[in-house]
Chains A and B, each alone.
Chain A
């Protein structure tokens, strides 16, 4: 069974500073994808960034980057130059890239608060 763990229920960061949100996973599948979503207080789920298990480079999307360490089974989200609008819940999700891999497995989330 797949398991996703986000060990930080809440995080605080000063505006303009960088912050790392942790995500670890447990799988025996060789091929998989890792996703990060943002959920602001308004409730919608916003896709941020994707990392494939065979990708040679760490994914980056604007101020978001993924610190992917395959051997340690971790896929930490790094937000650079934090903004007040980054205050939200952040979820990590795992998706096996297999024939039967239709499910996405979510962590319990990290609540990020950006302090002015």
Chain B
């Protein structure tokens, strides 16, 4: 009963380093999402993938890239990490357009950039 699995759960990087956050879902969902959560700002959408083979920018895409590797997996890459990217990152999935089903979230990745 995994749902949405994110790795890693915690990470500390130095400014300028790169890393990839991994996300996988086992619910056969069409759409996947990456959010960041900062205090007082709720969830802000970084990128999303409406379906396999497509990706679109969200509200705060600068400094990030994504890859929808297949229907199950959606990764988020920081090419050159900056302290402003210190945040909690959530991956989520959903059935997609027209669906009245909720998003399912991973447990989050706490990322600190020094």
Contact = CB atoms under 8 A, between A and B. Distances in A.
A43 B100 CA distance: 24
Interface residues of A, number: 24
Nearest to B88: A43
Nearest to B100: A33
B58 A103 contact: yes
Contacts of A101: 97-98
15 contacts: A35-B102, A35-B103, A43-B107, A44-B105, A44-B107, A45-B92, A47-B102, A50-B102, A91-B42, A99-B97, A102-B56, A103-B58, A104-B94, A106-B42, A108-B42
B42 A104 contact: no
Interface in A82-112: 91, 93, 97-104, 106-109
Interface string B58-71: 10000000000000
A35 B94 CA distance: 13
Which residue of A33, A97, A104 has the most chain B CB atoms within 10 A of its CB atom?
Answer: A104
Interface stretch (B16-24, B43-51, B73-81): B43-51
Nearest to A39: B37
Given A44-B105, A102-B96, A103-B48, 8 more contacts: A35-B102, A37-B102, A47-B103, A52-B100, A97-B97, A97-B99, A98-B97, A104-B45
Contacts of B48: 102-103
- On chain B, which size bracket covers the interface? 20 to 34
Interface of B: 31, 33, 40-43, 45, 48, 50, 56, 58, 88, 90, 92, 94, 96-100, 102-105, 107-108
A109 B42 contact: yes
A103 B48 CA distance: 8
Interface in A56-98: 91, 93, 97-98
Contact of A97 (B40, B88, B98): B98
Contacts of B96: 102
Contact of A44 (B41, B56, B108): B108
Which residue of A9, A52, A101, A107 has the most chain B CB atoms within 10 A of its CB atom?
Answer: A101
A102 B52 CA distance: 13
A96 to B, nearest CB: 8
